[in-house]
C-alpha cells in the first residue's frame, strides 16, 4: 500500500482545478443499467471508485472505457444480475446496481455491504423502498435477492433523508408503472445531478433538490449523456487547506453554491473568500478563529468535510465544538490527529477541539477517504516529516491529490510499496 511523505510546514499558494464529483459519478454510472444502450459522460474523475464501478459493470456484462475524463458505457449486453461481495465491500456505492437491475430486468442480487470503518451504515431504507415499489426481497447468505415482474409507483416517507436510498429508489421508480413520491428525500446536489441526467434521457422527475421528489414511470429511457458536476468536497478540502496553511488558493471549476455551509464556517475561521461564477479565491487568516460546527444533511455542513474542518480548528486560537449528526462514530481521524499534537476530547458524537500553536510530524494511518485528506492537511502544517499510510483511501476519492498539492507548493511525495 502506498503512503504519502509530507514535509511541513508550508503555505499553499496558486490555483487548482477541481475534478468531477465522485458521489455524482457513481450513481450516474449505475443509471446506465436502466438504458439497455450506450451512455457517455464527461468531466469524469479517474478514481479508484470510478474504476471499481467500471469493474462492477464489467461483471454484469457491461463494457466501459475511460480516457481523458470521458467515459463510454455500453449497457446493451447485461449478462449477470449479481453484484458480488468482493466489489460491494470495497465500495458501498455498488449497491446502486440494485434499483436499475431490478426495475429493468426484474431481478437483482446484490451483496449486503456490511459495516464500514466508522459504524454500521445500514441499507434498510433501500430495501424498504424497493419493497414499497412491489419487489419481493429475500436476504440470502448475505445477499439482497430482489425480484419483480414490473415495479409499480408508490408513496413513501424516508425516515432519514438518505442519499443512497433516494438514488436507488429514484432509479427504480423511473421504469416503474405509475407515480412514485419520495418524501423526506435527500436534497444533495448529487441527487439533482442524477435526476437532471435521467430527465435528459426521457425520465419524468420533478422536485429534485427539495425533500419531495415525484417520479412518473416511463417504459424506457434513452441514452444518457452528461457532464459531471465538480466535486464539492474536493473544493471544500482545498478551501480548508488554504485556511489551515494561511495560504491563498484560487479554486477553479467549482460550484461555490454547493458549499454555502462550508464557506460560512471557513469565513467564521477568518478566511476571506471571493466568489466569482465557478471560481473562488480563498485566503487564509494569520490566526485561525475557533468556531462550532454541526454536520447534517444538505444544505447543512457535510459530514464529508467534518474531518478536514477538525484539522483546521485544531490550529485555531481557542476552543471549538464539532457535533457529528450523520455518522455519530465518524471520528477515526481523531486519534491520528492527536499523534500530530492536536488536542481533542471526544464524548459520543461531540468533539471539543482545543487549538494548538504547532503540530509535529509523525506517521499516521488513514482509515477512510475524508480522514485521509484531513491527515494530509494536518501534515502540511506539521513541523518535519509526516507519513500518511494507506493512501489507497485517497485514491478512491481524490484525483491526483499529491500533484495538485505539489503545484500549490506542498512538499509531498508518494512512496510506492
Ligand atoms: N441510513 C439508514 N438507512 C439506510 C441508509 C442510510 O439509516 O438504509 C442512515 C445512515 O446510517 C446515515 C444517514 O442515513 O446516518 C445518511 O446516510 P446516506 O445513506 O445518506 O449515506 P450514503 O448514501 O451511504 C453518501 C456518500 C457518503 C456521504 C453520505 C452522507 C456516496 C457514494 N456516498 O453515502 O460519502 O458521507 O452520503 O452525505 O455518495 C465519501 O464520499 O467519503 C462518503 C462517505
Q: Of 10, 39, 116, 279, which is the active-site residue?
A: 116
- For ligand 1, whether the C-beta of 163 sits within 6 Å is yes
d(CA 237, CA 19): 12
Q: Is 99 left (phi over 0), alpha (psi -120 to 50) or beta?
A: alpha
- 116 among known catalytic residues: yes
pLDDT of residue 367: 87
In DSSP notation, 306-324 reads: HHHHHHHHTTSSSEEEEE-
**What average pLDDT does the structure give for the chain?**
97
Residue nearest to ligand 1 atom 33, measured at CA: 23
Give 69 Cα–ligand 1 centroid separation in angstroms: 26
Nearest atom within ligand 1 for CA of residue 368? 42
Nearest atom within ligand 1 for CA of residue 126? 8
pLDDT of residue 253: 98
Taking the CA atoms of residue 53, residue 55, residue 61 and residue 66 in that order, the dihedral angle to the nearest 10 degrees is 80
Cis-peptide, bond into residue 9, ω within 30° of zero: yes
d(CA 74, CA 80): 14
Cβ(9)–Cβ(381) under 8 Å?
yes
Give 385 Cα–ligand 1 centroid separation in angstroms: 34
Give 113 Cα–ligand 1 centroid separation in angstroms: 12
C-alpha cell at 394: 485517497
Task: Indicate the pLDDT class of residue 130, thresholds 50, 70 and 90.
Answer: very high
3-51 pLDDT tens trace: 999 999 999 999 999 999 999 999 999 999 999 999 999 999 999 999 9
Give 256 Cα–ligand 1 centroid separation in angstroms: 22
- For ligand 1, whether the C-beta of 369 sits within 6 Å is yes
Amino acid at each position: 500500500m502506498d503512503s504519502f511523505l509530507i514535509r511541513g510546514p508550508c503555505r499553499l499558494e496558486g490555483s487548482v482545478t477541481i475534478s468531477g464529483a465522485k458521489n455524482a459519478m457513481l450513481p450516474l454510472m449505475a443509471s446506465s443499467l436502466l438504458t439497455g444502450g450506450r451512455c457517455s459522460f464527461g468531466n469524469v474523475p479517474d478514481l479508484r471508485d470510478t474504476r471499481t464501478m467500471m469493474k462492477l459493470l464489467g461483471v454484469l456484462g457491461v463494457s466501459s472505457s475511460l480516457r481523458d475524463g470521458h467515459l463510454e458505457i455500453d449497457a446493451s449486453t447485461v449478462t449477470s444480475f449479481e453484484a458480488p461481495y468482493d466489489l460491494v465491500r470495497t465500495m458501498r456505492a455498488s449497491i446502486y446496481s440494485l434499483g436499475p437491475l431490478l426495475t429493468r430486468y426484474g431481478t437483482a442480487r446484490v451483496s449486503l455491504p456490511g459495516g464500514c470503518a466508522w459504524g454500521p451504515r445500514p441499507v434498510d431504507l433501500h430495501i424498504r423502498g424497493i419493497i414499497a415499489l412491489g419487489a419481493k426481497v429475500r436476504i440470502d447468505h448475505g445477499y439482497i435477492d430482489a425480484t419483480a415482474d414490473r415495479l409499480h409507483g408508490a408513496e413513501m416517507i424516508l425516515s432519514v433523508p438518505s442519499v443512497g436510498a433516494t438514488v436507488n429508489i429514484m432509479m427504480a421508480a423511473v421504469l416503474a408503472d405509475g407515480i412514485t413520491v419520495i418524501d423526506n428525500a435527500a436534497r444533495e446536489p448529487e441527487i439533482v445531478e442524477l435526476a437532471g441526467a435521467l430527465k435528459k434521457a426521457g425520465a419524468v422527475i420533478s422536485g429534485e433538490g427539495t425533500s419531495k421528489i415525484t417520479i412518473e414511470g416511463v417504459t424506457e429511457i434513452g441514452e444518457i449523456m452528461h457532464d459531471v458536476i465538480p466535486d464539492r468536497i474536493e473544493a471544500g478540502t482545498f478551501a480548508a487547506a488554504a485556511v489551515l496553511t494561511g495560504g491563498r488558493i484560487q479554486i477553479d471549476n467549482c460550484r461555490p453554491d454547493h458549499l454555502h455551509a462550508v464557506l460560512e464556517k471557513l469565513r467564521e475561521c477568518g478566511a476571506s473568500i471571493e466568489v466569482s461564477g465557478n471560481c473562488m479565491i480563498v485566503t487564509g487568516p494569520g490566526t485561525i478563529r475557533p468556531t462550532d460546527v454541526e454536520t447534517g444533511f444538505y444544505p447543512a455542513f457535510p459530514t464529508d468535510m467534518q474531518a478536514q474542518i477538525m484539522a483546521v480548528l485544531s490550529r485555531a486560537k481557542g476552543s471549538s465544538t464539532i457535533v457529528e449528526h450523520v455518522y455519530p462514530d465518524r471520528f477515526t481521524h481523531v486519534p491520528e490527529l492527536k499523534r500530530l499534537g492536536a488536542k481533542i476530547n471526544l464524548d459520543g458524537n461531540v468533539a471539543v477541539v482545543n487549538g494548538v500553536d504547532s503540530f509535529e510530524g509523525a506517521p499516521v494511518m488513514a482509515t477512510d477517504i475524508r480522514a485521509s485528506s484531513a491527515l494530509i492537511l494536518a501534515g502540511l502544517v506539521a513541523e518535519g516529516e509526516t507519513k500518511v499510510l494507506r493512501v489507497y483511501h485517497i485514491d478512491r476519492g481524490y484525483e491526483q491529490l499529491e500533484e495538485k498539492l505539489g503545484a500549490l507548493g506542498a512538499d509531498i511525495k508518494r512512496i510506492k510499496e
